[in-house]
Amino acid sequence: MPVAKIDIANPLEADGNGALIVECDEGLDVQWTNLKNKTVVLTNPFVLGEPGRIGITDLKSKGNGAVQEFAGWQDEQNIHGTSLECRFKNDAVLIFNNIAKGDEVVFTVADMDVRTDRPLKVNGEAVAVKTKNTALTLAVSKQKNLVIAVDENILWDNKLPADKIPKIKPYSLALHNALFTVTPPNSLVLIAECDEKLKTLTHGKMYLGFGLFSYLPTLPDPYAANLGLLSKQFSLRGQNEAGVNIQGHKKSSNVWMWLFGLVQWDKKTPAPDDVSVSFYFFAPLQAPLNVEKDEKIEANIRPANEQPVIRNDLYNNLSSYQTNGGENPQLFPPTSNITGGESLLVSRNALAGFFSIRLCLAGCQQ
């Protein structure tokens, strides 16, 4: 690599006015807007000062006990609203930068509890999102205030210390035209704007990444659907001594693709807020995700040669439900296309009627 020779006897003049950095011992602490319970103690910070900028970096700050909570969206489906709680911890990196024009940024890691109300599982419960060591950024300027949270290994963060790989219990997410069997969320990306008091997330996007075990179209008749290539999602769970698959053995599946759920919201005055949910397929994995699956979750899966006893009754109930809806004869039109590489499935939030059908389906199978 070509470089210029420097005459050390006649050094060049430094660009700008230079900077000053000071290494400190324990004794400083920091606090920002809406940080509750206690301040964050700096154990060995480096304080940088230069014209127009002040920076503080501590690789092992002590924030255990400090909490910050943000209010999320609120609509007719959840009049109590949602929230995001950040719990700060010890031995956490903390980086602070303040620029003279008025921009301030705090970066650290925190354990987070996202008290969301969607996506919903088929039993009507919201998915649980509890993270550890999540990268958290708080940015404040004259134009806007931002909250950014990123975590890509939630399953591994929440596994037991003795487990080499995460042990998970799959559950199902239901849309108008599809049923997903997924892992709990493994990734979180939240980008939201916040009010001046850093208390309310006014609008933003939250991405949740699920490991996808299987995707099944459900309507108009979930039992008569021709799965085609989708049947390859399942493999027989067991072989005899000769290595031949056991006929009629219950089927299993592996995580073969990522499914991302997107929640978008926009704060409205007066309430309710504008909230939407959509799902996206990601590229198939080159190898199945290395997680241990609780097989008890599949106790209600039927062998391939066993006919469902409620097929006609369920179909009649669905047809009756569609007729009573009043809007159109096909209440849940298909909106998916899995042949093009990327797919979009939009939830229409008809929660009360739809999830009552899904619960009936689950109950009849047991």
332 pLDDT more than 60 = no
User: Of residues 323 and 180, which shows the higher confidence score?
Assistant: 180
Distance CA 86, CA 349 (A): 28
Token pair recorded at residue 101: 């024009």
DSSP assigned state of 270: S
Comparing CA positions, the residue from 204, 353, 206, 361 lying closest to residue 279 is 206
Q: 82 is in which domain, residue-wise?
A: 20-238+248-331+342-365
DSSP assigned state of 159: S
Could you tell me the pTM of the whole model? Answer: 0.72
Angle CA(110)–CA(111)–CA(113) in degrees, nearest 5? 130
In a domain, 7, yes or no: no
Per the prediction, the chain carries an average pLDDT of 77
Q: Which residues contact 272 (CB under 8 A, 6 or more apart)?
A: 74, 75, 76
91, 193, 281 from 119: Cα distances, Å: 33, 21, 15
Distance CA 293, CA 198 (A): 40
φ and ψ at residue 296, rounded to 5 degrees: -60, -20
288 pLDDT more than 80 = yes
In a domain, 14, yes or no: no
Tell me which of 28-42, 208-222, 247-261 is least confident.
247-261
The pLDDT value recorded for residue 182 is 93
The pLDDT value recorded for residue 334 is 38
- Residue range 139-157: average pLDDT? 95
In a domain, 4, yes or no: no
Concatenated DSSP letters for 190-251?
EEEEE-TTS-BEEEEEEEEEEEEEEEEE-SS-TTT---GGGGGGEEES-B-TTSPBPTTPPE
Comparing CA positions, the residue from 17, 125, 109 lying closest to residue 62 is 109
In a domain, 278, yes or no: yes
The pLDDT value recorded for residue 305 is 44
The pLDDT value recorded for residue 13 is 75
- Identify the band that residue 188 occupies on the pLDDT scale cut at 50, 70 and 90: very high
- Residue range 177-193: average pLDDT? 93
In a domain, 10, yes or no: no
The pLDDT value recorded for residue 295 is 63
Total count of domains within the chain: 1
Q: Of the segments 10-19, 213-222, 243-252, 258-267, which one has the largest average pLDDT value?
A: 258-267
